[in-house]
Amino acid sequence: AQSVTQLDSQVPVFEEAPVELRCNYSSSVSVYLFWYVQYPNQGLQLLLKYLSGSTLVKGINGFEAEFNKSQTSFHLRKPSVHISDTAEYFCAAFIQGAQKLVFGQGTRLTINP
């Protein structure tokens, strides 16, 4: 079965430090990949998505992600985080042939001053 795995349930970092949130997917067919952010008490908001082309995808708020087909990964990175980045981050995949997004379990990013 197709699945999305976020390897860390919680990631604490200090303000202005770099961060990487890890995401792996399992699929033997073409896949589209997404990162969503959920700020406290809000709905999900799209950060970025990979459909095709360049494997390095830039999103909003200074985030970027790299699609690695050989490692079936789509890790999210930011070189310097801010307190306002405190949120839960969800990786999701749409596998061609299916009719739904499959979400990972979420990673809670906590920024310490």
32 lies in the site for another protein, by CB under 8 A: yes
Name which of 15 and 38 has its Cβ closer to another protein.
Answer: 38
Residue written as tokens 């349930």?
9
For residue 56, what are the β-bridge partners? 66
For another protein, the binding residue among 44, 64, 72, 86 (CB under 8 A) is: 44
Cβ contact 92:101 at 8 Å = yes
Q: What is the Cα–Cα distance from 23 to 93, expressed in whole angstroms?
A: 10
Q: Which residues bind another protein (CB under 8 A)?
A: 4, 6, 9, 32, 34, 36, 41-46, 49, 51, 90, 92, 94, 99-101, 103-106
